Structure 1
Amino acid sequence: MSESYFYEQASGHGLPHDPLKAIIAPRPIGWISSVDAEGRVNLAPYSFFNMVSDRPPMVMFSSNGWKDSVRNVEETGEFVANLAGFALAQAMNTTSASVPHEVDEMELAELAKAPSRLVRPPRVAAAAAALECRRISITHLRGLDGAPSSNYMVVGQVVAVHIDPAFLKNGRFDTAAAAPLGRCGYRGDYATADRIFEMIRPT
Structure 2
Amino acid sequence: MFYQPGTTDHNLPHDPFKACVVPRPIGWISTTSPTGAHNLAPYSQFNNLTFDPPYVMFAANQTPAGIRKDTVANVEATRKFCWNLATWKLRDAVNVSAEQVPPGVDEFERAGLEKTMSTVVEGVPMVKESPVRFECEYYSTIRLPGNPPMGTVDIVIGKVVGVHIADEVLSEDGRVDIRKTEPIARCGYYEYAVVRETFDMVIPGNDAAILGGLEGSSKKNRALDTKKEPKNPI
Q: 1:83 aligns with which of 62, 77, 85?
A: 85
Cα distance in structure 2, aligned partners of 1:68 and 1:41? 10
Matched, 1:45 2:42: yes
Partner of 1:100: 102
**Alpha-carbon offset, residue 176 of structure 1:** 2.6
Matched, 1:136 2:132: no
1:78-122 Cα deviation digits (max 9, x unpaired) = 000100000000000000011111110001101000111111211
Residue aligned with 1:11, SS: coil
Residue aligned with 1:197, SS: coil
Matched, 1:7 2:3: yes
**Alpha-carbon offset, residue 149 of structure 1:** 5.3
- Preserved contact between residue 141 and residue 149 of structure 1 (Cα < 8 Å): no
Partner of 1:173: 176
- Preserved contact between residue 52 and residue 59 of structure 1 (Cα < 8 Å): yes
**Alpha-carbon offset, residue 14 of structure 1:** 1.4
Higher strand proportion: 1
Amino acid aligned to 1:28: P
Amino acid aligned to 1:75: A
**Alpha-carbon offset, residue 194 of structure 1:** 1.2
Cα distance in structure 2, aligned partners of 1:167 and 1:177? 5
- Preserved contact between residue 115 and residue 121 of structure 1 (Cα < 8 Å): yes
Amino acid aligned to 1:60: M
**Alpha-carbon offset, residue 32 of structure 1:** 0.2
Q: Which runs of 5+ in 2 are unaligned?
A: 63-67, 206-234
Q: Which runs of 5+ in 1 are unaligned?
A: none
Identity rate of aligned residues, in percent? 44
1:97/1:149 CA distance change after superposition, 3 Å:
closer
Cα distance in structure 1, aligned partners of 2:19 and 2:200? 25
Partner of 1:197: 199
Partner of 2:52: 55
Cα distance in structure 2, aligned partners of 1:139 and 1:8? 25
Cα distance in structure 1, aligned partners of 2:42 and 2:187? 14
Partner of 2:126: 123
What number of residue pairs does the alignment pair up? Answer: 195
